[in-house]
Amino acid sequence: MRFIEEIVVDDFLPTFRSLLADALRERGLTQSEVADLLGISQSAVSKYVHGDVARHEDLLAHRGLEELVERLADGLADGDMSPVQALVETEVFIRELEQGGVLAQLHEDAVPELGDYDDEFAVHDPDSQLRSAERTLASVRRGLSVLENTSGFATLIPAVGSNLVQCLPDADSIEDVAAVPGRILDVKGRATIPADPEFGVSEHVATLLLAARTAGSDARAVLNVRYDESVVTALRDTSRTVVEFDAEESVEPAVATALADNPAADVLYHTGAMGIEPVVYLLGDDAVSVAETAREIL
């Protein structure tokens, strides 16, 4: 099983970034300046410009990619385009290639069975359930990458372990929630993720997310971290709405009561009970945003 997001990560991004890094260097930017613009390390830029990263031939042959790289390089080098504008243009380009373009073709080459799949939706239709599931899993993977690369995140992992979850837009059961099988654990000071995210493998954190959504929250993702008054204070200091709930009640009614007056709360927490460890839950639009919240308070 290979998702189209993996085609983007494995094939498109290395090709695109190496071309753009080359183009920016040709316009006189230093490796440090290129790294800052692209949001990558100088060592990564060095690999790109020295040809140490493989480029996909099918993508190199795509005229639109060449035109995009030249336009972005001109704009970024001259200061007429911000990195955010460049990101948006690239995202639009990727979506076009996923919907019947070269990325869709590469995906079908990687998964030939898609050609024989007959159902009411097209796999590369952005509104299809399969595409929504792919995007959700990809978002959790990106969020996990943020956590793995966040120095000190292991100190936020509670004794029961953390989990990072994100649900489908119309989720109504834990089968619609993607999460890490098992838990994210602190192993000798490092956050250890046991396996790639899957649907239906989280019970507790997924249940809390679904309860929050039932109570009126628009959140689609949750990360649980250890409770400490300093953690709660740090979250309040970032202007997030922090709400306490009662750990002695079952999750659904407790969360419903807590969110009755604050359905848009960004943070839920409880201070524990007999046999229940106190925990803080970070809520957000997606797995990446809640992972970045955890990084922000370290």
Residues 93 and 33 in one domain: yes
Residues 14 and 144 in one domain: no
Whether 216 maps to a domain, the answer reads: yes
Residues 108 and 137 in one domain: no
Q: What is the pLDDT of residues 34-60, one digit of tens each?
A: 999 998 888 888 888 888 888 989 888
Residues 83 and 211 in one domain: no
Confidence of residue 127 (pLDDT cuts 50, 70, 90): low
Residues 97 and 37 in one domain: yes
CA distances from 102 to 62, 130, 187, 221 (A): 8, 19, 42, 31
Q: Which percentage of the chain shows pLDDT scores above 90? A: 63
Q: What is the pLDDT of residues 234-291, one digit of tens each?
A: 999 999 999 999 999 999 999 999 999 999 999 999 999 999 999 999 999 999 999 9
CA distances from 90 to 38, 54, 156 (A): 12, 20, 34
> What value does the mean pLDDT take over residues 8-28?
92
Judge whether residue 296 has pLDDT over 50. Answer: yes
> What value does the mean pLDDT take over residues 137-156?
90
Residues 284 and 139 in one domain: yes
pLDDT value, residue 120: 44
- Of 86, 116, 102, the C-alpha closest to 24 is 86
For the chain, the farthest-separated pair of C-alpha atoms sits apart, in whole angstroms, at 64
* CATH code assigned at 138: 3.40.225.10
Contact 157, 213 (CB under 8 A): no
CA distances from 43 to 31, 53, 149, 165 (A): 9, 12, 16, 32
Residues 184 and 223 in one domain: yes
Look up the pTM and report it.
0.63
Phi and psi, residue 242, nearest 5°: -110, 130
**Full residue range of the structural domain in which residue 254 is found:** 129-297
Judge whether residue 107 has pLDDT over 90. Answer: no
Residues 30 and 154 in one domain: no
Residues 109 and 133 in one domain: no
Give the bridge partners for 225, in sequence order: 280
Q: How many domains does the chain have?
A: 2
Residues 222 and 255 in one domain: yes
Whether 120 maps to a domain, the answer reads: no
Residues 50 and 145 in one domain: no
Residues 97 and 155 in one domain: no
One DSSP character per residue, 41-95 reads -HHHHHHHHTT-S---HHHHT-HHHHHHHHHHHHHHHHTSS-HHHHHHHHHHHHH
Judge whether residue 28 has pLDDT over 50. Answer: yes
